Amino acid sequence: MPSDRTSAGDPVRTLALLWRDPSATPRRGPARGLSVDAVVDAAVTLADGEGLAAVTMRRVAQALEVVPMTLYTYVPGKAELLDLMLDATYARMERADSTGEPWRKRLAAIARENRALFEAHPWAAAVSTLRPSLGPGSIAKYEHELAALDGLGLSDTEMDDCLTHLLSFVQANARAAIDANETRAADGLSDQQWWDRAGPLLARLLDPDAFPLAVRVGSAAGAARGSAHDPGHAFRFGLARVLDGLAALIEPARAVDTGERPPGPDPTPDSAPSPAP
């Protein structure tokens, strides 16, 4: 479970900082040589290079060559800083214009954009956003992503549900990919090297007659993908299945909205109108 979450700080102060409201800036005191943006950029750079655990007020201050207490005149603490960091990465995301494309292509583009975000900023995948930060970057991201579901005949709550389902899949896949990278970095072995060492012993210990499905399917999957888990394959396969699932809701809604016949089997003889005598 993620240990870091958005909106863990004071909501009034955080929102004022996110939207750069003048009320968040002290009107008295010494001249300010930094800016909130400079503090956020330093924290993001630190998190990208060393992970979120490395982001402390002391380390950020060192990166900016100021004493730690200086930062507190810009950001109250790490909770508020995390909201600012995530909102900044949202604001800088690549956003493709998929206007006019079929809905599956639009949602696939949203999924790829979020996957690219987590590849560029792995720490972001570990942050719980169940209580969103509501900054301008977050709101712009939400607006952009909802546009991919607009005009499909869905209710407002269904649009939000579909987007949440899609993004939850992408974040889970990103976490698995990060785990795989960290595992390889920790022991210095590729998946194939690990299997080359573990496989011969497993072959001697494992009775294929006792576990026929595990042996057959596991061998086939490993041979096809070169490892027990391939995050890239899991993303492509999972995204297709997520879109297939959403189609069960979206296609009938589109049919009703456009007046088209909803997808499905032809009427059965019992339900078909009787021929005229």
Alpha carbon separation from 98 to 103, 147, 216 (Å, rounded): 9, 9, 42
pLDDT value for 50: 96
pLDDT value for 209: 93
pLDDT tens string for the chain (277 positions)? Answer: 346 999 999 899 999 999 999 887 655 545 568 999 999 999 999 999 999 999 999 999 999 999 999 999 999 999 999 999 999 999 999 999 999 999 999 999 999 999 999 999 999 999 999 999 899 999 999 999 999 999 999 999 999 999 999 999 999 999 999 998 888 888 888 888 888 888 888 888 999 999 999 999 988 988 888 777 788 999 999 999 999 999 999 999 999 877 765 555 443 344 344 333 3
Q: Does pTM top 0.75 for this prediction?
A: yes
pLDDT value for 160: 98
Whether 133 and 8 have beta carbons less than 8 Å apart is answered as no
Is residue 30 left, alpha or beta, with left meaning phi > 0 and alpha meaning psi from -120 to 50? beta
Alpha carbon separation from 137 to 7, 132, 240, 272 (Å, rounded): 14, 11, 28, 53
pLDDT value for 194: 82
